[in-house]
Structure 1
């Protein structure tokens, strides 16, 4: 009995698209759509639509490509005849391959989640999508390699000819009856179920989106929530570290504005007497991640018990920045002395008070 000892790389008269069209389509979709999702280009409903195949079908299809590189028993060769394939490369029918793809994807998702959790990765959209892209890409490439090892007549290929005939029989040549209508309804229900599953996995859950911001001080070279520099020098630079955690469900652009105010308090009410903007900076934070940003302030306003504010906005801030217009408001009380008083000294202050709108 003869045995294939080298790769049979011929693709016959059908060409590359016929022999490996599914591999090219899956790889192309994974690269383009995956990059759009991970890079934050596709957001909102578009992200849900694009992610549906990746979360319901493609990883399982890649696994099926590795396990079953041969054509199915119901798939004719180019000559129009069916021929048996060796048992060790037995294929499956196209319907079985599709069902296996859906089932394998559903089985892979919890395995991927457990693996990422065990490795310490956050279970956010970017990490999950990137992992599924890796699984899909490696799977289809492995399936293509196994397919190349088979004789051309035994390789799996997309049954485009039978699809065309079946589509014509189901539409132009169909005799519409109760069975035909039920088949159409069933197909629509399958598509709707795929969309619902993708939406549940990708779309942010209502009521769970938020942004958390905090100011950090230095303690022995480490950043801590305290030990802030509250004695500042007029004209001297003092650095504060702002951290922003994005749990909004999508990549978000923020603008942080540092402001110092002279205020007057009376029976719990606060009146702003004077306000100066000290620094303004922008930062972009991917969904589920935290970023640090240094704010460098040089106050000119002199006085004791001045209110140093950090106003955080999602996107561009309004023309007039105030604590009332900010999405997140952080502040602490500082004293600003003349430059002759010396450099700023770090003193222990109470934790920063923050509120989000």
Structure 2
């Protein structure tokens, strides 16, 4: 290769990485569909392509189909390894560290590919012939002596292919609606669905963690009610109106005061949605024991 000109395929790879970074990090743009369109190649293709370009700089090393297939395969291998490495760093596996790591890796591999291609003769170094292909298509369509009907059909065929590709991309990246439901759960003292507090003292507060996750594909207004042996318990006002967007999670400690004394009593957690305020949409329950303050203290020990 002559001069310092960067090969067009490496320029496109680096340009796509920068464009993806902009769409992921810029407020407003990071909510658009283009973020997903650009993010897929950054994860599934570009790192592997840059690595292949660095490992095999010569035209004769691999053909186009092999490079494309290996680019997907190596990307699928490299990205989890980068994530595994981030897991042992203070930054962890989060969006920004992953984005920076993938971008830096791809740029470094593109730089190595450029340096290795520079050492090869121009005729031997690999380069995607974008310009030659474009000129060939132009000559095929515009300069080849064909009838107007043939040219029209050729243009129509190209537009159909482009439309098919665009439709396929849209179908792949557009989320499909699954089952509409709401998660409703209770967590114990260790933040897990286990080891629930079951022993309480009459008149004293008890607390459990309650979670709600909206998978209804629309914003929903929820209300919650607690009942002990079918008798309502007073709750704070914040539980009377829980507004959640789709895929949003609400998880808060819920404090209540048992009003009855007894054993194996049913404490119900009832969740209502905006559709029906009389029939519980989801319900959970715990079996609890409530003792009086005197009984909780146990028998007194007399000193002699």
State TM-score, norm by structure 1: 0.49
Structure 1 residue 166: deviation in Å? 3.9
Could you tell me whether the CA contact under 8 Å between 2:228 and 2:267 is conserved in 1?
yes
Matches within 5 A, 1:1-357: 11=4, 21-33=11-23, 42=31, 49-54=37-42, 57-69=45-57, 90-91=58-59, 96-97=63-64, 99-108=65-74, 111=77, 134=101, 137-148=104-115, 150=118, 154=122, 161-162=131-132, 164-166=134-136, 168-173=138-143, 175=146, 177=150, 180=154, 184=158, 187-188=161-162, 191=165, 195=169, 199=172, 212-218=183-189, 223-229=192-198, 231=200, 233-234=202-203, 236-242=204-210, 258-261=224-227, 274=232, 276-278=234-236, 279-280=238-239, 293-299=251-257, 302-303=259-260, 307-309=267-269, 311=271, 318=274, 324=280, 326=281, 328-332=282-286, 341=293
Relative to structure 1, the CA distance from residue 243 to residue 27 in structure 2 (aligned partners, 3 Å threshold; closer, same or farther) is: same
The offset of 1:142, in angstroms, is 1.3
1:269 aligned partner: none
Report the RMSD for the aligned CA atoms in angstroms.
5.9
Using the alignment, how far apart are the partners of 2:159 and 2:227 within structure 1? Answer: 65
The offset of 1:240, in angstroms, is: 0.9
Write 1 or 2 for the structure with the bigger share of strand: 1
Are residues 223 and 262 of structure 1, via their aligned partners in 2, closer, same or farther at CA, if it must alter by over 3 Å? Answer: closer
Gaps of 5+ in 1: 1-7, 70-89, 265-272, 346-357
Give the match's secondary structure for 2:226: strand
CA contact (8 A) 2:235 2:255 kept: no
Residues 240 and 310 (structure 1), Cα distance of their counterparts in 2 relative to 1, 3 Å cut = farther
Greater relative contact order, per chain length (Cα 8 Å cut-off, separation 6+): 1
Q: TM-score, normalization: structure 2? A: 0.55
Does structure 1 conserve the Cα–Cα contact (< 8 Å) formed by 2:233 and 2:256? no
Determine the C-alpha separation between the residues in 2 that align with 1:92 and 1:190: 33
Distance, in Å, in 1 between the alignment partners of 2:169 and 2:143 is 30
CA distance in 2, matches of 1:331, 1:309: 6
Whether the aligned pair in 1 keeps the contact of 2:224 and 2:269 (CA below 8 Å) is yes
Gaps of 5+ in 2: 88-92, 298-304
Q: Is the 8 A contact 2:50 2:113 kept in 1?
A: no
1:234-286, CA deviations, whole angstroms, 9 ceiling, x for partnerless residues?
A: 4x44221235679x699x9998755323675xxxxxxxx75643353788998
Change (3 A) 1:118 1:274: closer
Instruction: Give the whole-Å Cα distance in 2 for the aligned partners of 1:211 and 1:115.
Output: 35
Tell me if the contact between 2:268 and 2:286 (Cα under 8 Å) persists in the aligned partners. Answer: yes
**Could you say which structure has the higher helix fraction?**
2
Query: What's the CA shift for 1:207?
Result: 5.0
8 A contact 2:184–2:211 mirrored in 1: yes
